[in-house]
Structure formats: structure tokens, C-alpha cells
Amino acid sequence: MNTFQFSYCNDGPSDCFSKSFSLNYNYYESYQADGQQSGAYIFRPSQRTLSGSIAYDSAISGKVFIGKNLLQIQLYGAKTITSIRIYNDMTNGIEVQTFVDSINVADGQGKEIVMVVQVPNMNTNKTFYTDSMGMEMQKRILNYRPTWNLQVTQPVSGNYYPVQSTIYIEDITNNETLA
């Protein structure tokens, strides 16, 4: 797992932000037995990957491009290329786009590729926020539902939220936000 350091200064050295992070791509094998199978609107991992994903690719090198209105970071893996774009300043958020090379399915096993971003030393209290079809942000807490007592039977798919446009985490100790 390679760790990258991201630093950004808005109006000079007194207004700087710096965070280290790792970016990996993993996969879950799709459930294909009898009953509810994994598919277009259902994320259900196989028994083999129910307890965790399998490594697929990770960013091993990167390039930074700095222009007048855009900062772009390209992260390269053997099977992926990820572009992180920041327009003008960080007030408009960060755009992340990933190209995933062909996925080997010669074994007849479906695979669900997921992006895993890890940020060390960030206290999120197991909370993150996702957009709701681009309409509003929803607070998500791992293994918790605000309106009923959740009995966790599928820890992976029970905490899986497709992201339409935005996801962010917030450090509860210093209010730093990463989107």
C-alpha cells in the first residue's frame, strides 16, 4: 500500500492543508448461487468475500499538473488510472475519475470493483456523508440506522452506498473535511 501526501495552500503558508492518504482498488466476488444474486441494483458479495475484499490494484506512482484554474493529480496503478481534479480552489470540491482496465472474468466469477481510500489519523467516529441522488447529503454511520435497530447480517452490503456525485468524511476532533 503506497501512501501519498496531499498539500494545498489557498492564500499563502498560513492557509495550508496537508493530509496523507492511500488509494487502492479491491473487489468482491459476486454472489451467484440460488436466491438473491448480486447484480445491477443489488450488491451482495459471495461467501468467500463476505468478510473482506480482495486486492485488485493500487496507485504506485503519480504526477501533478498545475495550471491557472486547475490542479490535477494523476495516480497510476497497473490496472487503473485515477484523476483527481481541483478547480480554482477547494471551495468547489474535488472531482475524482477512475479508469479501470478490463476485469478478468475467465473464471466465470463476477467481480464488484470498489475504491478504498484510507486516511490515517482521522477520527470520523464511523460516520461519513453521501449524496442522495444529487439532492441532499445523508449522514451514514457504519452498522447503524437512525429509525430502527439494525441487526447486522451482511456487514459489507449493509454499509454499501452507491455514490452519485459526492462523499465526504469529517474529523470530529478538528472539523477537517475530506470530500
Question: According to the model, what pLDDT value does residue 100 have?
Answer: 95
Q: Residue 20: what pLDDT?
A: 77
pLDDT of residue 62: 87
Q: Mean pLDDT, 10 residues at a time, over the chain (179 residues)?
A: 65 66 89 80 86 90 86 92 82 81 90 87 90 83 92 86 82 82
Give the pLDDT score at 98. 92
Tell me the whole-structure pTM to 2 decimals. 0.79
User: Contact 166/137 with Cβ under 8 angstroms?
Assistant: yes
Domain ranges of the chain: 1-118, 122-179
Q: Which residues pair with 112 in a beta bridge?
A: 28
CATH number of 1-118: 2.70.98.30
pLDDT score recorded for residue 13: 62
Residue 14 confidence (pLDDT): 64
pLDDT of residue 116: 87
pLDDT computed for residue 159 by the predictor? 87
Cβ burial, residue 82 (10 Å; 0-12/13-18/19+): buried
| Residue 6 confidence (pLDDT) | 64
Residue in 3, 52, 11, 21 with CA at minimum distance from that of residue 169: 21
pLDDT recorded at residue 1: 57
pLDDT of the residue at 53: 92
Residue environment code for 117-155, b if the CB has 16+ CB neighbours within 10 A, otherwise e: eebeebebeeebbbbeeeeeeeebeeeeeeeeeeeeeee
